[in-house]
A and B are shown apart, each in its own frame.
Chain A
Amino acid sequence: AQSVTQLGSHVSVSEGALVLLRCNYSSSVPPYLFWYVQYPNQGLQLLLKYTSAATLVKGINGFEAEFKKSETSFHLTKPSAHMSDAAEYFCAVDSGTYKYIFGTGTRLKVLA
């Protein structure tokens, strides 16, 4: 069975500071991994995805994530937070079933 765990339901960072949002997965086969962002009362937008082509994946808005098989992790990072990054972020996994399993989300707050 596949699953996703996002550590920290709320994360606060200062504007300009490093953003680190944690995601650990469980999968019996090589997974496909995704990060999505959601702004209030809106749908989810794809930030980036891991499809086994490269372990370091770059996405939109300056975000990137690194797939670490040994740690079963796919943490999302951004070197310098901007006020516009305040949103909720979801990690998702698909082990080839075409049904994604989503984490419970991490709400990012950016402090001025």
Chain B
Amino acid sequence: DGGITQSPKYLFRKEGQNVTLSCEQNLNHDAMYWYRQDPGQGLRLIYYSQIVNDFQKGDIAEGYSVSREKKESFPLTVTSAQKNPTAFYLCASSIVEASYGYTFGSGTRLTVV
């Protein structure tokens, strides 16, 4: 079955360390997105990519980086520059059509101690 896989589901890191969250899709979608979710704040867009080798900053890109070397993969790195990285991170994908709707992964909960 097609879908989006995020791994790991839970991740613990020490403060000051970079960490990479994985997102893989086999839906043949061109567009992929990373959102951050915090209680009471909804989903906020970190980065998005609508084509391989190209990506754009979202509303809260500071302290994060991404790559899009393959259509299927869109990893997110949370760097030490991110001031408050503890959050639930969601990856999504879609075809590039506004009315299509996103397909979401099951998320990665990152805790920085």
Q: Which residues of A contact B (CB under 8 A)?
A: 9, 32, 34, 36, 41-46, 49, 51, 90, 94-100, 102-105
Contacts and interface: CB of A to CB of B under 8 A. Distances in A.
B98 A98 contact: yes
B41 A49 contact: no
Given A98-B94, A98-B96, A49 B40 contact: no
Nearest to B106: A43
B102 A99 contact: no
Contacts of A99: 33, 45, 48, 58
Interface residues of B, number: 30
B102 A46 contact: yes
Q: How would you classify the secondary structure of chain B's contact residues: helix, strand, loop or mixed?
A: strand
A34 B94 contact: no
Given A9-B40, A43-B90, A103-B42, A98 B106 contact: no
Contacts, number: 60
B105 to A, nearest CB: 5
Given A98-B31, A98-B50, A104 B42 contact: yes
A41 B40 CA distance: 15
30 contacts: A9-B40, A36-B104, A41-B88, A41-B106, A42-B106, A43-B90, A43-B92, A43-B105, A43-B106, A44-B90, A44-B92, A44-B102, A44-B104, A49-B99, A51-B99, A94-B98, A94-B99, A95-B98, A98-B31, A98-B48, A98-B97, A99-B48, A99-B58, A102-B42, A102-B43, A103-B42, A104-B41, A104-B42, A105-B40, A105-B42
